[in-house]
Amino acid sequence: MKKVFILTFIILAVLACKKTKFTPEGPTDVRIKNLTDLTFNEVIIKTSENEEDVDTLGNVGPNSYSEYFRFTKAYPKAEISAMINIGGTFSTYSTGTVDFTYMQYLGQDKITFEVWISDPDNKKLEIFNVIHDEPLVLK
């Protein structure tokens, strides 16, 4: 009887242990580098098809970086939009929608999306480069 009680206790103890769930897909820490001489205001980024992978990064100054933000998954392309003041008028610039189907996720990394204005007339942003800054250390 004593052995059954000890065995039951060990099984319950093992099942009660919670392990933080990390997957090969992520999380991924993402930041934006503004490659223009204009300020990106109210930057919004969507890094995957998941609804929780949308966040507002705030403002990103000319030729500077945003802070890192954690997303459950990220791909080499993202939907990025920003309000940009040109000639005293704020306009929304965007990379447009992204189809994440068949893309390979970036994994557990810290990455930087370098963003610039590719087409000012159509208010189009473009990701110029994706830089893998360093591996993400998870505890």
Inter-residue contact 111 to 131 (CB < 8 Å)? yes
Q: What is the pLDDT of residue 138?
A: 76
What residue numbers bound the domain in which 42 lies?
20-135
pLDDT tens by residue, the chain, 139 residues: 676 667 776 776 666 665 555 667 779 999 999 999 999 999 999 999 988 999 999 999 999 999 999 999 999 999 999 999 988 999 999 999 999 999 999 999 999 999 999 999 999 999 999 999 999 887 6
Whether 44 is in a domain gets the answer: yes
Whether 1 is in a domain gets the answer: no
Whether 9 is in a domain gets the answer: no
Q: Considering Cα of 123, then 128, then 106, then 45, what sign does the dihedral take?
A: negative
H or E segment to which residue 119 belongs: strand 109-119
Whether 3 is in a domain gets the answer: no
Whole-prediction pTM value? Answer: 0.80
The CATH number covering residue 68 comes to 2.60.40.2890
Whether 12 is in a domain gets the answer: no
Whole-number Å distance between alpha carbons of 21 and 68: 21
Total domain count, the chain: 1
